[in-house]
């Protein structure tokens, strides 16, 4: 078994064997990142390919200050965000018609946690993918990639209030989806 450093050294020498090893070692995790941001598998595959191209093009910039997988994760997350931003049809800013006050949650955290035990990982991923792009992007950045609202605002070029507002709407939409899904599964 080769270490990440050995694989990295081989990739820097453009040795196909090590390039394939890097790909095989990290492909499923990086595809998972792409799937979280993309609206469907086809778009996720496009982002995935673009991400690996960037990884191979930028191997010389990896300084070893973090794990190779973490460095790659950041590249795939950024590639996903940039791809979605390029294809967004709607701006991220809150429109005049949108209220800036947080949306009231219809189900409590305890109730949500209880119901989430009845939803598979695949169903949860599909619920996130079913969100409108701007909300899917915010929920991924905040809840999964654990970026702060100030980081999100810098990356997306929006203000922090918009980030908070869109996160609240994303949570509300997910809560609504969850409620509908569970009512179909278990009845009212």
Return phi, psi of residue 95, to 5°.
-75, 165
Predicted confidence at residue 114, as pLDDT, reads 58
Count CB-CB contacts under 10 A for residue 175. 18
Fold (topology level) of 4-87: Rna Polymerase Sigma Factor; Chain: A (1.10.1740)
Whole-number Å distance between alpha carbons of 138 and 164: 9
Predicted confidence at residue 110, as pLDDT, reads 62
Whole-number Å distance between alpha carbons of 128 and 103: 18
- pLDDT tier for residue 105 given thresholds of 50, 70 and 90: very low
The better pLDDT of the pair 109, 55 is held by 55
Q: Does residue 179 sit in helix, strand or coil?
A: helix
Predicted confidence at residue 55, as pLDDT, reads 97
Task: Tell me if domain 4-87 and domain 109-186 are identical in fold.
Answer: no
Q: Are 133 and 90 in contact (CB under 8 A)?
A: yes
pTM score over 0.85: no
Instruction: Tell me the C-alpha to C-alpha distance, in Å, between residue 18 and each of 3, 62, 157.
Output: 11, 16, 38
The better pLDDT of the pair 127, 6 is held by 6
Break the chain into its structural domains and give their ranges: 4-87, 109-186
Residues 6+ apart with CB under 8 A from 162: 92, 93, 94, 153
Convert the pLDDT of each residue in 65-87 to its tens digit.
999 999 999 999 999 999 988 87
Count CB-CB contacts under 10 A for residue 10. 18
Convert the pLDDT of each residue in 9-66 to its tens digit.
999 999 999 999 999 999 999 999 999 999 889 999 999 999 999 999 999 999 989 9
- pLDDT tier for residue 88 given thresholds of 50, 70 and 90: low
For the domain 109-186, what is the CATH code?
1.10.10.10
> How high does pLDDT run on average in the chain?
84
């Amino acid at each position: 078994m080769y270490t990440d450093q050995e694989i990295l050294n081989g990739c820097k020498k453009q040795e196909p064997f090590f390039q394939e090893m890097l790909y095989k070692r990290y492909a499923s995790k990086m595809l998972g990142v792409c799937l979280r941001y993309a609206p469907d598998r086809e778009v996720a595959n496009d982002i995935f390919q673009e991400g690996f191209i960037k990884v191979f093009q930028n191997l010389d910039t990896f300084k070893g200050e973090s794990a190779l997988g973490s460095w790659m994760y950041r590249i795939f997350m950024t590639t996903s965000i940039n791809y979605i931003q390029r294809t967004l049809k709607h701006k991220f800013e809150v429109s005049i018609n949108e209220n800036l006050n947080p949306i009231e949650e219809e189900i409590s955290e305890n109730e949500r946690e209880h119901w989430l035990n009845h939803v598979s990982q695949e169903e949860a991923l599909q619920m996130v993918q079913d969100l409108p792009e701007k909300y899917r992007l915010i929920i991924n950045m905040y809840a999964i990639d654990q970026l702060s609202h100030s980081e999100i605002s810098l990356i997306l070029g929006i203000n922090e209030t918009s980030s908070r507002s869109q996160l609240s709407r994303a949570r509300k939409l997910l809560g609504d989806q969850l409620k509908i899904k569970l009512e179909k599964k278990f009845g009212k």
